[in-house]
Amino acid sequence: MRGAVYNLGISNVIPKSVTRVSRSAPCLRFALQLSFVMLGLAIAARAVDWNAPEQQLARKIVAVTGPGAVAFSVENRSSLGRRDNEVIQNGLRGALEGLGIRFVKADQGAATVAISLSENPASYVWVAQIRQGAGEVAVVMVSAPRGEGSAAMHDSVPLSLRKTPLWAQDDPILDVVVLEENTVPARIAVLDPEKVSLYRMQGGKWQQEQTAGIVHARPWPRDMRGRLMPARDHLLDVYLPGLICHSTTGTPLTLNCRESDDPWPLVSGTLNGGTLSVFPSAGLGNGASTVIPQLSAFFASTRNFFTGALTPGVGRFTTVSKFYSAALLPRDKYTLWLFAATDGQVHMVDGVTDQPARLGWGSDLASVKTACGAGWQVLATSAGEPGDSVRAYEFPDRDPVPVSAAIEFSGAITAFWTEARGDTAIVVVRDRQTGDYEAFRLALACSQ
C-alpha cells in the first residue's frame, strides 16, 4: 500500500509538470518564430537586389550580339564578396538566357562576352567586352550604386584600391586620358604608337569619334613608351621618344608633330596656367593646398627610361639616377620625390639629400591625392606570376607603410601614369595569354 501511495504521489506531480510545460510552449514557439523572423529580416536587410543592373546589362549585350550562341565569362575585380559574385553571375546568366542567349564553349560561340565586375568610390561598374569574329571589341557598361547593405568586408588595411576597365585593343596602348566624365568616363583619348583615337560613350558603348595619325621619321625603340597630357589652350600634347605632338583646338583633330628631345613633364601643368600645379593636401588643414613646382625629365629616345636630367630640378638636384618612373609626396615645407631607378632601387630625393633604398618594388610608380589617411599615397608595382600587382603605400618618414591590399592583374604592366587631376592613375596591362592590351583606372577609397 505504501508503494501505491508513492506511485500516486508521482502521478500527481507529472500532470502538474506537463501542464506547466504545455502552458509555456506557446511562448517558446513564439520566441523561436520571432528569432527566425528577425534573422530573416537581418539577412534581407543585408541582401542587395541586383536584378535591375543585371537586366540592363543583359539588354545592352544582346543589342550587340543578338540572340544566339555566346561564350560567356565573368571576372570579379571589385570588393564584392563571394556570395554577391555568385548571385550576380547567376542573375546575368538568367537574364541573358531570357533574351535568347545560349552559352557554349569559347570555340563554339558566334561571340565572346567577357564581363568584369569593377567599382569606383561611388558605384559598382560592370563592363562587358564583346568580340564577334575578327571585328573590333565592343564595350558596354552599367553602374549600380554602392548601398549600405552591399558594403564588403575589407582586409585589415585602411584603404581600398579599385580598378575600372577603360579600353582594350590588340595594338599596344601607351596611355589613356579621360577627357570627360559624369559618374563614369564619357570621353577618352587612346594613344598607341601610330595614332591618337578619340572615343565617346554613346548608348552604353564606346563609339570612335576620330583618329589622328602620328607622323615620325625615326623608327620607334623596341620598348615603346608615350604620354598624353591635357592642355589648356588645345586638347592634347603627345610625348613620344624623340617626338612631341600638339593637337589642334577644333575638329577634325590633327596632330602637329616635330622631332624633339625636350623633357617630358612629370606633373600635369593644366591645373594652374601651366607653371604650377596646385593639389589639395589633407595634412595642411582645411582649405589649405600644396603648391607643386613643375618638374620635367629628359627621356632617352632610343631606350625606355629617363636619363636622370631634370628641369628645373628638385632643390639642389638637377640630375638623379636614370629612372623608369617617378612619384611625388608633398610635405609641409618641401616635396619628396621617389624615382624608380634602373638599378632596382628607389631614390628618395627631398632637395637636400638623395637616399636610395631597395624596397622590392617594380619599375612603375605613381602618386595620388585622396581624402584618406595622410592625404597622399604612392602606388607601386610588384612583378609576379602569372601577373603583376599594385599596392598603395604611405611614407610617415622614409619607410613605406602598406595601406591597401594588393590588386592583381592578369599580365605585365606596361604603362603607369598619374592622371591630370592627381586623384587617380592609369595602368596599362598586356595579357600574358592573349597578348592584348587593356587600360584601367585605379582609385583609392577610404575603408569604413
- pLDDT reported for residue 425: 96
Q: What percent of the chain has pLDDT over 90?
A: 53
Residues 171 and 259 in one domain: yes
Give the pLDDT mean for 402-409: 90
Give the pLDDT mean for 266-278: 54
Say whether pLDDT at 246 is over 60.
yes
- pLDDT reported for residue 201: 93
Q: Which residues of 16-54 are buried (b: 16+ CB within 10 A; e: fewer)?
A: eeeeeeeeeeeeeeeeeeeeeeeeeeeeeeeebebeebb
Say whether pLDDT at 274 is over 50.
no
Give the pLDDT mean for 210-226: 94
Residues 178 and 313 in one domain: yes
Residues 232 and 372 in one domain: yes
- pLDDT reported for residue 152: 38
- pLDDT reported for residue 271: 43
Residues 170 and 105 in one domain: no
- The CATH number for 348's domain is 2.130.10
329 occurs within a structural domain: yes
- The CATH number for 86's domain is 3.40.50.10610
423 occurs within a structural domain: yes
319 occurs within a structural domain: yes
- pLDDT reported for residue 277: 47
- Contact indicator for 129, 139 with CB cutoff of 8 Å: yes
Say whether pLDDT at 101 is over 50.
yes
Say whether pLDDT at 29 is over 70.
no
Residues 356 and 442 in one domain: yes
Say whether pLDDT at 273 is over 60.
no
- Contact indicator for 74, 143 with CB cutoff of 8 Å: no
348 occurs within a structural domain: yes
What residues have CB less than 8 Å from 194, skipping those under 6 apart? Answer: 171, 213, 214
161 occurs within a structural domain: yes
Say whether pLDDT at 171 is over 70.
yes
Phi, psi (deg, nearest 5) at residue 148: -60, -40
Q: What percent of the chain has pLDDT over 70?
A: 79
Residues 358 and 399 in one domain: yes
- Contact indicator for 223, 241 with CB cutoff of 8 Å: no
22 occurs within a structural domain: no
Query: DSSP label at 273?
Result: T
Please say which residue of 112, 145, 178 terminates a domain. Answer: 145
Report the range of poorest mean pLDDT among 14-23, 390-399, 407-416.
14-23
- pLDDT reported for residue 21: 40
Please say which residue of 145, 178, 205 terminates a domain. Answer: 145
Residues 207 and 117 in one domain: no
- pLDDT reported for residue 276: 41
Residues 240 and 379 in one domain: yes
Please say which residue of 145, 173, 198 terminates a domain. Answer: 145
For the chain, what is the mean pLDDT?
Answer: 82
The residues with which 340 forms a beta bridge, in sequence order, are: 325, 346
Give the pLDDT mean for 382-404: 84
- pLDDT reported for residue 78: 75
User: Helix (H, G, I), strand (E, B), or coil: what is residue 84?
Assistant: helix
Say whether pLDDT at 278 is over 50.
no
Say whether pLDDT at 69 is over 90.
yes
- pLDDT reported for residue 165: 94
415 occurs within a structural domain: yes
13 occurs within a structural domain: no
DSSP symbols for 291-348: EEE--EEEE-TTSSSEEEEEEEEETTEEE---EEEEEEEE-SSSEEEEEEETTS-EEE
Say whether pLDDT at 122 is over 50.
yes
Report the range of poorest mean pLDDT among 38-42, 130-134, 299-303, 381-385.
38-42
Residues 310 and 409 in one domain: yes
Say whether pLDDT at 32 is over 60.
no
Measuring CA to CA, how many Å separate 170 from each of 167, 178, 411? 11, 20, 14
Residues 121 and 158 in one domain: no
* Number of independent structural domains in the chain: 2
- pLDDT reported for residue 22: 45
Band of the pLDDT at 211, cuts 50, 70, 90?
very high
Residues 127 and 273 in one domain: no
Cβ neighbours, 10 Å, residue 59: 15
Say whether pLDDT at 180 is over 70.
yes
- pLDDT reported for residue 260: 95
Say whether pLDDT at 410 is over 80.
yes
- pLDDT reported for residue 144: 84
- The distance from CA 346 to its chain's CA centroid, rounded to whole angstroms, is 24
Residues 213 and 355 in one domain: yes
Q: Which domain holds residue 85?
A: 51-145
- pLDDT reported for residue 288: 46
pTM: 0.67
Torsion of CA 67, 68, 71, 72, to 10 degrees: 30
Report the range of poorest mean pLDDT among 63-67, 161-165, 275-279.
275-279
- pLDDT reported for residue 215: 94
